[in-house]
């Protein structure tokens, strides 16, 4: 589950009194980098909680991100613009894939990619609920693992993402302590497998 919902990500100052679709477009156009904490909850087809986790995110557009789970288990997902690394320290195992192939029309591509998001997603307003203004993004490519993404904006920034997969499960990611357009050291978007690690994929 964690691997599927990487890269999904985060926020920027937004113009008041605009719809959620316009707020997403403003984010993609105006935000160069993002730093945030997140909590993630996965539900079954009903309301039963299947898993809970939390961690931090760093993103530098286009295409670079570091999605790090710290609770309950450590796991790291790093995209350097060319390759996507998934590191599981408990297994001492790293998986590497071509980033374009791995992301495709994924949730991460909505926010970490270029400004051509509407080539991959159909966007529509989804009303107000829970104090947030929502949009729904549906992938135009049917060959993906999820049916739709909902994104909820507060007055200033992206607050919540909800991802509904093809098995009926729902993943809710809430972002906190969001800052935008900060500078990051370039090395945080690079990954080198530790000596002796099991590496799966073409380096």
pLDDT for 3 equals 46
Extract the tokens encoding 20: 């959620």
Query: Has residue 149 been placed in a domain?
Result: yes
Task: Answer for the pair 82, 100: CB distance below 8 angstroms, yes or no.
Answer: no
| Structural domains in the chain (count) | 1
Residue 183 half-sphere exposure, CB side, CA atoms within 13 Å? 1
Residue 58 lies in domain: 20-183
Residue 190 lies in a domain: no
Q: Residue 146 maps to which CATH number?
A: 2.50.20.10
Q: What is the pLDDT averaged over residues 84-98?
A: 93
Q: Which has the minimum average pLDDT: 28-37, 135-144, 170-179?
A: 135-144
The predicted model scores a pTM of 0.82
Say which residue the tokens 């898993």 belong to.
51
> Which residues are 175's β-sheet partners?
38
Length, in residues, of the chain: 203
If pLDDT is split at 50, 70 and 90, which confidence band does 61 have?
confident
Residue 7, in any domain of the structure: no
Q: Is residue 3 part of a domain?
A: no
């Amino acid at each position: 589950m964690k691997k599927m919902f990487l890269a999904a990500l985060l926020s920027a100052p937004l113009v008041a009194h605009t719809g959620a679709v316009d707020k997403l477009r403003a984010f993609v156009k105006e935000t160069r980098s993002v730093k945030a904490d997140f909590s993630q909850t996965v539900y079954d087809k009903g309301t039963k909680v299947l898993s809970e986790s939390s961690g931090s995110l760093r993103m530098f557009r286009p295409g670079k991100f570091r999605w790090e789970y710290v609770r309950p288990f450590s796991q790291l997902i790093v995209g350097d613009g060319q390759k996507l690394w998934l590191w599981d320290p408990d297994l001492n195992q790293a998986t590497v894939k071509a980033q374009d192939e791995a992301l495709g029309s994924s949730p991460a591509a909505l926010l970490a990619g270029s400004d051509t998001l509407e080539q991959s997603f159909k966007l529509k307003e989804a009303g107000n609920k829970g104090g947030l203004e929502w949009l729904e993004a549906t992938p135009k490519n049917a060959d993906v693992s999820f049916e739709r993404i909902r994104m909820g904006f507060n007055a200033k920034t992206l607050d919540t993402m909800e991802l509904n997969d093809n098995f009926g499960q729902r993943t809710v990611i809430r972002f906190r302590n969001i800052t935008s357009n900060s500078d990051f050291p370039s090395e945080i978007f690079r990954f080198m497998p530790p000596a002796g690690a099991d590496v799966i994929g073409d380096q």
